[in-house]
């Protein structure tokens, strides 16, 4: 037993590494919990450190670099205008609480990577590779509505906060787990893997929530939400019908997502509306 007693008797002394680890963990947890707000679009409580204005600034600063990674912006004026036009239709159908995000929709020149993504604050991108696979304007509206859902659900900002929490806890576990540097690194690596798996789960949930929001937004804009089923089929075809197991992926399997879309459609009947497909 460690010797630490003022009267000369054996006593217990907390190792300094555990104290340091506890400090790291408490700082990470308090910082995460303290930044709590209710999302006006989803109604959910979120832990987010960024303000909407900071999200907009971050997205606009990152947009040129992200575009460059996909070959820059497309030179196809007609296709670019189509993306912007459908994006504008989606924005016009958004609820008033969707402000203050200045949405911008961009077409990327990449003809190999089937992808679409959103940066914080409203910068939304789709590649030519995905656009050329879509068959109708309604399917494009579904893709852009989905990415708009990510922005309004503030998924990127929430993931940043979770990453900061995870890093703080990983650091704490690494410090507490071993007296040696090698041992701390091994423990931290294991903790990091577990933390990544937790965040992957949030990623799958985010995708499903963005699907539901996208369906809601495209319907409000006058597009047939059933078009999203074909979008999922196109994505599955583009992946060759295979890919990583769903458990190890941030994106749910398209077949799984189709089930959720069909459930949403049953709960939100389109009635006799004349919708664009």
Pairing of strands 123-127, 45-47: unpaired
What would the pLDDT profile of 41-84 be if each residue is shown by its tens digit?
A: 888 888 787 788 888 888 888 889 889 999 999 999 999 999 99
Q: Is 133 helix (H, G, I), strand (E, B) or coil?
A: coil
Contacts of 212 (CB under 8 A, 6+ apart): 149, 260, 264
Nearest Cα to Cα of residue 150 among 37, 70, 59? 59
The residue with tokens 């399997």 is 253
Q: Over the chain, what is the mean pLDDT?
A: 77
Q: Tell me which H or E stretch contains 212.
A: helix 181-220
What would the pLDDT profile of 245-273 be if each residue is shown by its tens digit?
A: 444 455 677 778 899 999 999 998 665 56
Can you give the pTM of this predicted structure? 0.74
Would you say 107 and 131 are in contact if contact means Cβ atoms under 8 Å apart?
yes
- When pLDDT is averaged across residues 140-153 and rounded to a whole number, the result is 95
The pair of structure tokens assigned to 161 is: 């906060």
Helix 181-220 vs helix 254-267: angle between axes, to the nearest 10 degrees?
A: 40
């Amino acid at each position: 037993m460690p010797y630490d007693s003022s009267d000369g008797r054996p006593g217990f002394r907390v190792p300094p590494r555990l104290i340091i680890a506890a400090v790291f963990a408490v700082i990470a947890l308090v910082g995460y919990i303290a930044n709590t707000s209710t999302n006006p679009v989803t109604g959910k409580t979120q832990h987010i450190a960024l303000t909407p204005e900071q999200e907009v600034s971050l997205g606009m600063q990152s947009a040129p670099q992200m575009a460059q990674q996909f070959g820059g912006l497309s030179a196809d004026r007609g296709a670019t205008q189509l993306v912007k036009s459908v994006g504008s239709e989606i924005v016009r159908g958004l609820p008033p609480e969707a402000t203050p995000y200045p949405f911008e929709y961009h077409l990327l020149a990449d003809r190999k990577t089937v992808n679409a993504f959103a940066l914080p604050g409203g910068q939304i991108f789709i590649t030519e590779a995905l656009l050329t696979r879509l068959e109708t304007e309604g399917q494009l509206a579904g893709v852009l509505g989905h990415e708009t859902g990510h922005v309004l659900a503030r998924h990127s900002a929430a993931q940043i906060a979770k990453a900061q929490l995870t890093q703080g806890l990983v650091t704490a576990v690494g410090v507490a787990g071993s007296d040696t540097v090698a041992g701390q690194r091994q423990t931290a690596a294991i903790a990091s893997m577990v933390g990544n798996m937790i965040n992957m789960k949030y990623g799958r949930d985010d995708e499903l929530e963005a699907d539901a929001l996208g369906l809601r937004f495209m319907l409000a804009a006058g597009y047939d939400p059933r078009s999203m089923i074909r979008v999922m089929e196109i994505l599955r075809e583009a992946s060759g019908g295979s890919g990583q197991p769903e458990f190890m992926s941030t994106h749910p399997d398209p077949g799984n997502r189709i089930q959720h879309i069909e459930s949403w459609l049953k709960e939100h009947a389109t009635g006799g509306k004349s919708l664009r497909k």
